Amino acid sequence: MSDLGAADKAEPMRVALAGDLHGNISWIQTAIPRLHRYAPDVTTILHVGDFGIWRERRGKGFLAAVDYWCKTAGITRVLVTPGNHEDWGWLDEAFDGSDGESVRLSEVVAVLPRGYRFELASRTFLSFGGAASVDFEHRVPGENWFESEIPTDDDVESAIASGPVEVLITHETVDCGTRAGQAAIETNPLNWSAEALDYSALSRRRVTRVWAALSPRLLAHGHMHRPDAATLDDGRRVLSLGSDGQERNMAILDLRTLETEWMIDRSIG
């Protein structure tokens, strides 16, 4: 298990959890300064996917913006669990050559392979990226949609085999997570096709197997654009982070207690 906190023995005991960013530079240049004002002790962001990983110019421009604004805010690393709306063609190539380790995208940003385990302040984490693009029928395979965006059964078994963790970071949601997320799944407000819903359910089912088997105290995910939180009957908690432009796009995680608090900006919404 990688100890990403080993390099800085005085590492602060709080980190930020960030929801979907979609390569939105204008959002970054407001959200990162807000984070610094809200929690100036935070130097690490754990991102839950749909970050904005694309090999063309817009992807590089976004990374440059993230580096710039993170440096001004004292953020030294952004660890990305990939989402579905990323360039998985490029990610697959990068992970194939990484020997199971994270891949550095810029001075500040690193992306984590599916099933990557790490520690921060002696807390154990698993990054399990990817999700189903429910709009895949309207996308171009190999260009802006990739089959490898969802985890395989082998990915699930590999993640489970290494045993429990305290925090699970995913992009995909789980079945019976937060009320807001479950309501979106059950009501299908955008009228997706039966095939699209089946595809989404397959991805969600696989991530739910990881969630159930590893029994982490906290699951943080994105994807749904439905910010919400839930505490289940067994005490486990689910945090569904909002998207760029939404209130509750970020939260603060206290590594001493694993408690979270929303970073709320009253000027949004």
Please tell me the distance from the alpha carbon of residue 246 to that of residue 248, in angstroms, as a whole number.
6
CA distances from 197 to 136, 181, 189, 200, 202 (A): 11, 14, 12, 5, 9
Q: What is the pLDDT of residues 45-95, one digit of tens each?
A: 999 999 999 987 556 799 999 999 999 999 999 999 999 999 999 999 999
Q: What's the token pair of residue 52?
A: 């904005």
Specify the pLDDT at position 6. Answer: 43
Query: What is the edge-to-edge ordering of all strands in the sheet holding 237-240?
Result: 2-3, 116-120, 123-128, 167-170, 218-221, 237-240, 228-231
Query: Nearest-5° angle of CA 262, CA 263, CA 267?
Result: 120
Contact 77, 120 (CB under 8 A): no
Query: What is the edge-to-edge ordering of all strands in the sheet holding 44-47?
Result: 103-104, 109-111, 77-80, 44-47, 14-18, 250-254, 260-262
Specify the pLDDT at position 49. Answer: 96
Please tell me the distance from the alpha carbon of residue 249 to that of residue 236, in angstroms, as a whole number.
21
3-state secondary structure of 29: helix
Specify the pLDDT at position 217. Answer: 98
CATH 3.30.70.141 given to domain 13-262: no
pLDDT in tens, the chain (269 residues): 776 654 445 667 999 999 999 999 999 999 999 999 999 999 999 999 999 999 875 567 999 999 999 999 999 999 999 999 999 999 999 999 999 999 999 999 999 999 999 999 999 999 999 999 999 999 999 999 999 999 999 999 999 999 999 999 999 999 999 999 999 999 998 899 999 999 999 999 999 999 999 999 999 999 999 999 999 999 999 999 999 999 999 999 999 999 999 997 655 44
Kindly state the percentage of the chain with pLDDT values over 90: 89
Q: What is the pLDDT of residues 156-166, one digit of tens each?
A: 999 999 999 99
- Among 267, 235, 231, CA closest to 249: 267
Sequence-ordered strand ranges (E) for 69-128: 77-80, 103-104, 109-111, 116-120, 123-128
Specify the pLDDT at position 106. Answer: 95
Specify the pLDDT at position 56. Answer: 73
Indicate the angle between helix axes 57-73 and 25-38, nearest 10 degrees. 20
**DSSP structure string for 98-113:** TTTS-EE-SSSEEE--
Q: What's the token pair of residue 199?
A: 């595809």
Please tell me the distance from the alpha carbon of residue 19 to that of residue 148, in angstroms, as a whole number.
21
3-state secondary structure of 144: coil
**Domain spans, the chain:** 13-262
